[in-house]
Structure 1
Amino acid sequence: MEPVVLPHTIRGAGPHGVLALHGWFGDRASFEPLLAHADGERFTYAAPDQRGYGDARGIEGGYTTAEVAADALALADHLGWTTFSVVGHSMGGKVAQNIVALAPERVRAIVGVSPVPAAGAGLDSDAWALFRGAVDDPSARRAIINLTTGDRLPAVWLEAMVATSLARSTTAAFAAYLEDWAGTDFHESVKGSPVPALAVAGAHDPALSPDVMRATWMEWFPNARLCVLQDAGHYAMDETPLALLAAVEDFLASAGAAG
């Protein structure tokens, strides 16, 4: 399918454009805890809903990270951004790497917040069963969110996350994206890329842990840095939004990416 300009939120009016790409359980509202305090004088953030999610639930597609990357490039074109940076959470982190593979000359820097590696998630058979079960079973969604945040967060928050994911994504999109982000491998397309890259990992995330980031992002991107948030799991935007925002914007500036 042809790329489309996805529904999106714009925050800030700074000279440095930043695409903010949500994860499997979220939509563009996932970034609100960050964007509420973002530096709008230095940055302009654009947070789209991916096909099958949020206000893009009616936009059909193949529901792959490569397709999202192409749509993200179409959004950047729509906004007049010749170059830009990308912040992606989880599945959105894999999209960020896909954008580097598709258009490396346009990417000033990338930030992955608990990003799925370009090589896939490396799920074993039990994990595949749990994640595939989450397509139709809300209790499996809750179990995944609880597991990846270290079994330490309030039940009300867990239930709200599940309710949001059910309300803001279609079953078809949710199922298809899983097969792509967990299973596809294009890491050879980004290996050795000089794009400045920051991997942010939560200390309480056993799935996309700091060790996973060291074995993937830190190996593939020569100009990579690793930030470990000690008080976060997989959902740092909710768990430690200000610490995450500081890490993101400090990195963009120190990487020479904040023009």
Structure 2
Amino acid sequence: MKSYKLIGFGPKKVLLFPGLLGTQDAFNQMLKYADLENFQYAIAEYRGYGGSKNLPGLFNLREVVIDAYKLVEFLGWKDFAIGGHSIGALAAQMVAIAMPQRVGSIVSIAGMSAKGGSRDPDRMALLNAAANSAEHREQMVAGGTAGRYTPGFARTEVAATFDSIDPLAFASYAKDASQTDVSEEAKNLPMPILALVGEHDPACSEQAARATTSEIYRTASVEVIAGAGHYPHCEAPIATLTLIEKFLSTSAR
């Protein structure tokens, strides 16, 4: 069984996927404020990451979907909400496409749209370099927060997971996201989707979310997290979680 973390014991079930830099601990700062009597959160861990670092695999998002199906079956979840940060939001949407009768709602946290990741050559070069370089990962974090924080923020975020991530897996997921576009399949999804974007996120901005997610999903809503960049679950954990749980309280099965 692939590694995961389970938090809470409530009747509303939520499966979360971390971003490219995250393990099963990615949402710790946010989930310590969770309403655990009403919600139960499972944080999935990708093959090549954390407790699954040595687990072999293809290291692509379709494999993530298959592993997610196995996890919810193991947990006995018949109906659940799904969400993710950055690349994890793309994985979440792909799970919803695979299991539309079981997924009641989707939450995207500074997430990639169903159109997939950036194809920009400079961005891909940075991601490839970041597979083996803490310095380049720190550059990613600093860029995602518009350079507004002390260098210690990026350094701490990267150091928390650097040794827990297989560089091959990192590079493979990043490349796969850039080659994935499930927007046509997503157009047929009936469940509501909440796109949370940081006020200062240069890439996953409100404008980008309204031009992609709002155009793809007729049920989409967009909320801006004040004061946050690409990591709202770390930068503004209480505000981010409050919006998530309010949304899920009215939309999750």
TM-score, reference length from structure 1:
0.94
Alignment of 1:191-206 (within 5 A): 191-206=187-202
Q: Which amino acid aligns with 2:75?
A: L
Among 43, 60, 63, the alignment partner of 1:64 is: 60
Alpha-carbon distance, 1:56 to partner: 0.6
Unaligned runs of 5+ in 1: none
State the distance in 2 between where 1:181 and 1:161 align: 22
C-alpha RMSD of the superposition:
1.2
Counterpart for residue 128 of structure 1: 124
Q: 2:113, 2:59 → 1: CA distance?
A: 17
Residues 1-259 of structure 1 mapped to structure 2, 5 A cutoff: 5-255=1-251, 257=252
Count of residue pairs the alignment pairs up: 253
Once the 2 structures are TM-superposed, how far is the Cα of residue 165 of structure 1 from its aligned partner? 3.2
Q: 3-state DSSP class of the match of 1:28?
A: coil
Q: Comparing 131-140 with 172-181, which one deviates more in the overlay?
A: 131-140
The answer on whether the counterparts of 1:111 and 1:248 sit within 8 Å (CA) in structure 2 is: yes
For 2:140, the aligned partner's letter is I
Helix, strand or coil at the partner of 1:18: strand
SS of equivalent residue, structure 1 residue 58: coil
Q: What's the TM-score once normalised by structure 2's chain length? A: 0.96
1:28-82, Cα deviation, whole Å (9 max, x unpaired) = 1011112211111111111121111010101111111121121112111111111
Distance 2:246 2:30 in 1: 14
Range with greater deviation from structure 2 (200-209 or 113-122) = 113-122
SS across alignment from 2:137 = helix
Matched-pair contact (CA < 8 Å) for 1:232–1:239:
yes
The residue type equivalent to 1:27 in the other structure is: T
Which AA in structure 1 matches 2:119?
Answer: L
Q: Matched residues in 2 for 1:184 and 1:48: separation?
A: 20
**Structure 1 range deviating more: 211-220 or 89-98:** 211-220
Consecutive unaligned residues of structure 2, counting only runs of 5 or more, are none
| Distance in 2, Cα, partners of 1:15 & 1:162 | 34
Deviations 1:152-204 (A, max 9, x none): 11211211122223212001101100101122112111113111100000011
* Matched residue SS, 1:105: coil
- Runs of 4+ more than 3 Å apart: none
Q: CA deviation at 1:233?
A: 0.5
Aligned counterparts of 1:212 and 1:66: Cα–Cα separation in 2: 24
1:123 and 1:207 map into 2 onto residues whose CA distance is 13
Partner amino acid for 2:84?
Answer: G
Q: What is the CA distance between 1:254 and its match in structure 2? A: 2.5
Distance 1:183 1:165, change over 3 A: farther
Q: Determine what percentage of the aligned residue pairs are the same residue.
A: 35
Is the 1:26–1:168 contact (alpha carbons within 8 Å) kept by the matching residues of 2? no
Q: Distance in 1 between matches of 2:77 and 2:132?
A: 39
